[in-house]
Structure 1
């Protein structure tokens, strides 16, 4: 085996020869030409073994290691698949059990209170017997499972009043659920929890599988909080749509903690047999709220604002009208659609958007500039040519290279030479006119149409106020400039 030696970096000429595909004179080393910002790799190849008999031990070694390596690859694949799409999340709530009280009303109309913690093997509170007597057996697919058996799992009827001093809104549970199960929710989307039901699994009982079809209330997830009641076994089993399951035993990490478990709406869950004590839990339905159009919004315009908007819409019947947005959102129109701003609308823009929705209209957001408007599915791409201008990149326009010299559009823009003895103001006006023509040509080629052709009537005040101004970078005469783009809220008033 030859000793390893430190190789020096190739000279510029050698690096250029390698980049052209030529071979280096050294057969044991290869140098790769790379960008200066990336460190170069130097590889030294060991000489091949000439003794054929020495290959057999290597083969045996590879065969013996194949099983371990294959097991490692399978384990990695399973771990990566579980990491790619988690369907459960769990944690603990720091809660003093003595501060938890459950209030409920029995069938006879009497209100009871149940204090925690509870150990039914040591002392069963009378209120617990009343609570169990008021419960119903669980159902599967709408049919009672063994309704005459006393060993069924139970739930408190939703038509009877029930409340508890436990509010998960006082703990960052929903934020943890959002980060774990919904990491890609855009800004403006929120998770809201609504108490679902109280579930009880007595000694010797189990809860049958509860399919997702029993929870058709539009929820996106479910949160189960295990109450501080002593029990053994009775693990919560959660299965996703692919049949993968996870178990949670509901045991707090410390005496003053309770466990919570969250899982997606397309999962089913069940509780294994409780061998001792009693298992009690409260479930919460997690719903998605947003300022956007896809789900129920959180904002509601006032009656006064709706009354002010009503005559404007009445006098605009049969027209496609538009309003300018007034807030800045710091988004690149060359990379994003205007509709992507909907979850981010704020201030009066959000108020107007939801007021139009309240009138059963269909508002849309469009990019607009210089009397032109882009379709709802188009970005402001006005010519991203990187051949001539080093500053041209994604979202940057270059006047010097937006049109080829032999194109008809290029020839249609007259270029008159600047005279040394001419009027500088006239020359500057001529240059501005030419640049404007080039922009107009590229805007039309990108799909934008004049507002007059789109038959859009802009509703604005006598003295227009501030407008939303987003920027598209462009190169003009060797300088970097920005094209100001506005946002129009367009809707048709029938």
Structure 2
């Protein structure tokens, strides 16, 4: 066997693959002299060393850019001949502008009227060759381009908002049309003072040269998009975060026309990053809820949720369900918020209720168990129901059968130790239909180890609790 080849760069540390599975140890600084890095010594120029350093710097730049992308671009798969822009001039005459357009070959009369109807952006550097323009927001404007027909918002969400919680959605509202003629002034566009989270800029199929879109993030990073379309005439779109500045570089020939959209964040639930729900309860539902609230003044009341959400109450808080509420649960929550109340979700089971900030974490106290946490309990002794359980006669229920009195007492002890409070000791009054009680209620399951060593599941319901002042 040949000996390993010595490193070509003995003065550099041996490169190794970074892995998140490696241990990270923080050493205490008590009793130690703080380390002061010495000034690097100058060394003679080494082409190989410089090449290695440049390579590492390039890797660092890619990793930093990948960590938080602030802009993204793509193509609109649409034939430009199918795009038409409808607008009305200041004189009240309506026009239709067909695409594609090459102003150096033929200037359409409709484009002339569009330019004459626009207003100039405020000038910064004196008197440019041509002012940049925008179409007045007070005049009607529409286009046959519908973003909903293209997966642009999905691309924006996946790239710029990868950690957006479930139940939150992006919507796009047409913002303004801007025209950048030949020799335009380079002016950084001011950030809009609205609740948008991003901006989409679609470059309409008008032939031009130059006019690159430059987007700058708050930390000074820069992205550049050219907007020249694809081989088949596809239009280019670019999206960037709302805290970014952008500008259009000088157009050397032709004319660049962009249509911008404001991307806003919506949700079906009335909480989250920006609580702005997409639904509203009907007047009929509010009329039915109003007398209940009037007759419950000064009380803390609760409703059972009815949906199935597939979560483990031993791992998550009940409040985490708010963005995912569906059906009648979502309608009721929205209605209570309209009445300026503060609803909260709590776990409940067997006549017990958990505080809003606690999970249903049932601890296994069996000494023979390898661990005392249900989340890490070994399932080696689980017999898949091979041993029968006594019939249920208590307020608790499991996925297999009902426990006997001894097991009910043991389970009640575990529930109280996990933070469960008897409903009788609280001021919560559960409102339900006495005819169909308990009716259809949410049933989430918490695994636990019974006194017999079996793996069982405690059925837990969800209460929507409010105080009516």
TM-score by length of 1: 0.77
Q: CA deviation at 1:170?
A: 1.1
Aligned residues: 407
Matched, 1:136 2:115: no
Distance 1:231 1:2, change over 3 A: closer
Matched, 1:192 2:138: no
Match of 1:252 in 2: 229
8 Å Cα contact 1:97-1:116 kept in structure 2: yes
**Unmatched 5+ residue regions in structure 2?**
5-42, 379-388, 395-402
Q: CA deviation at 1:222?
A: 0.5
Match of 1:216 in 2: 193
Distance, in Å, in 1 between the alignment partners of 2:390 and 2:170 is 60
Distance, in Å, in 2 between the alignment partners of 1:72 and 1:377 is 49
Matched, 1:486 2:461: yes
Q: CA deviation at 1:175?
A: 0.9
Distance, in Å, in 2 between the alignment partners of 1:315 and 1:493 is 9
Q: Which has the higher helix share?
A: 1
Distance, in Å, in 1 between the alignment partners of 2:104 and 2:3 is 75
Q: CA deviation at 1:66?
A: 3.6
Q: CA deviation at 1:147?
A: 8.3
8 Å Cα contact 1:138-1:207 kept in structure 2: no
8 Å Cα contact 2:80-2:205 kept in structure 1: yes
8 Å Cα contact 1:107-1:134 kept in structure 2: yes
Q: CA deviation at 1:449?
A: 2.1
Distance 1:74 1:363, change over 3 A: same
Q: CA deviation at 1:452?
A: 3.0
| Partner SS for 1:313 | helix
8 Å Cα contact 1:211-1:267 kept in structure 2: no
Distance 1:274 1:64, change over 3 A: closer
User: Superposed, which structure 2 residues align to 1:45-444 within 5 Å?
Assistant: 65-139=48-122, 145=124, 151-212=130-191, 215-294=192-271, 295-383=275-363, 388-390=368-370, 393-395=373-375, 432-444=404-416
| Partner SS for 2:188 | strand
Distance, in Å, in 1 between the alignment partners of 2:261 and 2:194 is 12
Match of 2:446 in 1: 472
8 Å Cα contact 1:383-1:397 kept in structure 2: no
In our comparison, the structure showing a higher alpha carbon Rg is 1
Distance 1:148 1:205, change over 3 A: closer
Distance 1:2 1:250, change over 3 A: closer
8 Å Cα contact 1:100-1:116 kept in structure 2: yes
Distance 1:230 1:387, change over 3 A: farther
8 Å Cα contact 1:239-1:268 kept in structure 2: yes
**1:127-176 CA-partner distances (Å, limit 9, x unpaired):** 2122111111224xxxx546876622111111111111111111111111
Distance, in Å, in 2 between the alignment partners of 1:385 and 1:69 is 58
Q: CA deviation at 1:397?
A: 7.4
Matched, 1:460 2:426: no
Q: CA deviation at 1:382?
A: 2.1
RMSD (Å), alpha carbons: 2.8
Q: CA deviation at 1:358?
A: 1.9
Distance 1:227 1:384, change over 3 A: farther
Q: CA deviation at 1:284?
A: 0.3
Distance, in Å, in 1 between the alignment partners of 2:196 and 2:374 is 40
8 Å Cα contact 1:293-1:342 kept in structure 2: yes
Q: CA deviation at 1:467?
A: 1.1
Distance, in Å, in 1 between the alignment partners of 2:218 and 2:365 is 47
**1:83-113 CA-partner distances (Å, limit 9, x unpaired):** 1111111110111111111111111111111
Distance 1:74 1:241, change over 3 A: same
Match of 1:14 in 2: none
8 Å Cα contact 1:291-1:342 kept in structure 2: no
8 Å Cα contact 2:390-2:404 kept in structure 1: no
